[in-house]
Structure 1
Amino acid sequence: MSANKQQSSKTSPLFSPERKWSVSCAMLLLASLWSGFSDAQTWPLPAPGSRLVGANQFHVVQDDGGSLEDIASQYGVGFLALRQANPGVDPWLPLAGTVLTIPHQVLLPETPREGIVVNLAELRLYYYPPGSNQVAVYPIGIGQLGGDTFTPTMVTRVSEKRANPTWTPTKNIRARYLAQGIELPAVVPAGPDNPMGHHAIRLAAYGGVYLIHGTNADFGIGMRVSSGCIRLRDGDIETLFRQVTPGTPVRIINEPVKTSQEPDGLYWVEVHQPLSQSLDDDPQTLPLTLSGRSQSLLDSPAVNAGVTEQSMNLRAGMPVNITHQLREPGAQTL
C-alpha cells in the first residue's frame, strides 16, 4: 500500500507516464495517523519485458513550504533525487510558486525481481514482497566517501532482524568521531540517541557488519551520510522490517544508467549521477559506466541520439523517452 503525501500537487505529464494515482490530502493525513504505513511508493509490477513503473508528479511550493528535504520527506523520495530532478532550485529556501517535479517514475533495475535490490547510484531500495506482484521503492542513505565508510556491492541475504538494536561502533568509527571531539561509548544503547533508529536488518556478507536500519536524524535520506550501512526513514524501515524474513535475498548494485525497450516498442533511459570516489569529483561530469546490454540498446537506430546525449549530460535521475520517432503526437521527451 502506498501513502504518498501530496500537497498542491497533480500528476505530471512529463516523460509520458501512463499511470495516474491521486489521493486526497485528508485521506493521506488520516492514513499517516492511523495506519503507520511508510511513505514508500508501491506499484504493481509491470508486464514481462517491461521495467517502467510509477508516475511523476508536480508540487507547487507554498509560502514557508520548507526545504527540499522537507518536501522530499512528504513525498517519500530522497533529497538528492529531488535536487537532480529540479536543477537550479534553492535546496534550502525554494521560492514560493516554484513547480517541482517529484520523481516517482522509475525503471526497475536489471536484476531478478525478488527480495531486496539496492542501487547505490540512485540511492534507492527496491523490495519485491513474495507473492504480491508488487514492488515498493524506498529512498535510502548510503556510506560516505572513502575507506570503510563506502557501501560495497554484494549478493547476500538477510541474516537477522532486531528491533530496538544497540549500536557497537567499530574502532575506525570511534576514531573518526573522536577526531571531531566526540567520544563514543563501546556500545550505544537502544533509544533516541541511537543512530540506528528502532529497527535493524543485518546482512550476511562481510561477517554481518552491514545493516539496513533506521535513523534518529531528520536529514540524510537520499544522501551519502552513513558509515557504510543503508539507512531508511523511520516509517520505511518499520514497514520493511515487518515484511522481510531471514533468508531474503539481497542484491546491492551500482548502476547509474538504466535502460529499457518496453513491449510497446518505446525506448527509455534513466541516468543518475555516478558515485564520487573523492571529494574533488564532480558527479555531474564523471564518466558514466554502462552495462553491455544498455550500450547495445542505446546503439539501436530506433534511439534518438540527441535526446540520449542530453539525458546523459542532464543526469536528472528520471526515465526519459529516447525513441527516435515518438508514436504519440505531441509526446514529450525532455
Structure 2
Amino acid sequence: MQQPSYPPVSIFGVPTDVGAGRRGASMGPEGLRVAGLVEALLGRGIDVVDRGDLKGPKNPWLGPAGGYRHLDEVVAWNRAVLEASTVELAQGRMPVMLGGDHCLAIGSIAAVANHCRATGKTLRVLWLDAHTDFNTSQITPSGNVHGMPVACLCGIGPEPLTGLGGHVPATRVSEFRQIGIRSVDPDEKRLVKTHGLDIYDMRYIDEVGMRAAVQQALDGLDETTHLHVSFDVDVLDPTIAPGTGTPVPGGINYREAQLVMEMIADTGRLGSLDIVEVNTALDHGNATAELAVDLVESLFGKSTLMRD
C-alpha cells in the first residue's frame, strides 16, 4: 500500500481545563511534548513546527451561571484556537491542537469548517470519544462546556460559541461520525436521536467489529474531503489510558485503537487533528500521553501491517 503524504504540520498547545469538571487537562500539552510527539512525527519524515502554547484566561473554578461554567473563559480560549487554526490552514499547514479539554474543539472545528467553505472541500469529522458531547444548558447535569462542543458546532448553544466562526451553524450534524461512545446522559440521548447523530457506540462495535464500524464511518471520503479527527483519550479503556478526567469503563483497547488510526491513515485524507483530555495529574507516570503519541504515529502512517 502506498504511504500517504502529509502536509506540513503545526502543533500548538492550549493549556486550559476551563471547560472540564476536574483540574489537570491544562497540563496535557506539556505531557504530550514530554512523551515525544514532535520527535515522533519528525521521525516519520513530516515537516513539523511547534508553535508553543496559546494564551488565555485562568480557570476561575466557579459554579455554573445560566447553565454554563466559565462561559467567558471558554469563549476566549476557543477564539484563540480558531485564530491559530485559521492561520495554519491558510498557509497550507495541518493544525494539530494539543488540549486542554474537549470544549476547545469548538474553535478548532469552526476554523476547519470555514476553511472547507472557502476552498470547496467537504468536511468529515471523526469524533473519537466516550461521550457524544451533545449537551445543552437545559439538560447538562454539570454545566461543563466540554460536554457541549458538538451541540455548539451544530448551532445548539450560547451565541458566543455557536457564532464563534461567523457562520451558524458552523457544521452540520451529518458531517460527524462518532466512534467509541459509551456514556450519554438520558436527555442527551434523546437529543442525539432527534438530530440523527451518526454514532458507532461500543455495543455496535462489539456486534460488528471495529473494522466494519470504521469502514462505515469513513465511507464516502474522496479527494474533495477534509478529514478532521478529534481524539479524546477517554475513548480508550481506562485500564490503558488512566490519565483523563472522565474515564468510562469498557473503552476501546490497544489493538482496536491502532486499527482505527491505521485505517484513517490509509485514507490519505487527514487534514487536521485535536488531541484532548490528557490529564497528567490523574495519570500513572506519563502513560496516557505516551500511548496517545504512539497512536498519533499510526495516524501519520506508522503501520503494523506485515501483509500486502
Larger Rg: 1
Higher strand share: 1
TM-score with structure 1 setting the length: 0.26
Q: Which has the higher helix share?
A: 2
Q: Which has the higher contact order (CA 8 A, sep 6+)?
A: 2
Query: What is the TM-score with the length of structure 2 in the denominator?
Result: 0.28
